[in-house]
Amino acid sequence: MDLKTFIRDVYDFPKKGIVFKDITTLLLHAGAFGEAIRMLCEPYLDRPVDLIVGIESRGFIFGGAMARELGCGFVPARKPGKLPAETVREEYTLEYGNDAVEIHADAIRRGMNVLVVDDLLATGGTAAATIRLVGKLGGMVTGAAFLIELGFLKGRDRLGDTPLHVLMNFESE
């Protein structure tokens, strides 16, 4: 199954000049969604993963399903002001603007093996900030998994030596 055929390009969203990779067309298709989750989980089946940290908002969809498949817990990394209890925060630069990401301060315990999940790796700012947050709380980032990588934006260069797992790479817009 070629998962790329289930991704829809939306031009000039949310800003002129951006080609938005719409994953809702993949989610619509039970077979494609199931295959994506199976393939995303594959490298982690025989490795210890205590928690998945999913990045708002599409990282919740993939990370949540992966947590069920891998039998581990799930932690939402959210936009500022959304989480009700005490949080830790990191700022980052997005392909289209600035933002920050927060995690509940008591969500990750020292030494836990954490997998970071999002739908798409663009400039890498969001994932890099999330990896820093996990580190702040004493978690060990065992890897980061993405459905899509926009390779031409070189986001992986910002993720240091974190092992990456990516299902589809787009080398140009």
Residues labelled catalytic: 58, 95
**19 within 8 A of 173, measured Cβ to Cβ:** yes
Task: Report the candidate in 59, 10, 5, 8 with the shortest Cα–Cα distance to residue 37.
Answer: 59
Number of residues that bind ligand AMP (CB under 6 A): 19
Residues 49, 51, 90, 126: which binds ligand AMP (CB under 6 A)? 126
Q: How far is the CB of 148 from ligand AMP (least distance, A)?
A: 8
Q: Kindly state whether residue 58 participates in binding ligand AMP, applying the rule CB under 6 A.
A: yes
Q: Kindly state whether residue 20 participates in binding ligand AMP, applying the rule CB under 6 A.
A: yes
Q: How far is the CB of 135 from ligand AMP (least distance, A)?
A: 17
DSSP letters along 1-29, please? --GGGGPEEEET-SSTT-EEEE-HHHHT-
Residue 41 amino acid letter: C
Q: Kindly state whether residue 130 participates in binding ligand AMP, applying the rule CB under 6 A.
A: no
Q: Kindly state whether residue 78 participates in binding ligand AMP, applying the rule CB under 6 A.
A: no
Q: Kindly state whether residue 94 participates in binding ligand AMP, applying the rule CB under 6 A.
A: yes
- C-beta closer to ligand AMP: residue 108 or 148: 148
- Chain-centroid distance of CA 45 in Å reads 18
The Cα-based distances of 171 to 95, 104, 151 in angstroms read: 16, 35, 5
Footprint on this chain of ligand AMP (rule: CB under 6 A): 18-21, 55, 58, 94-95, 118-127, 155
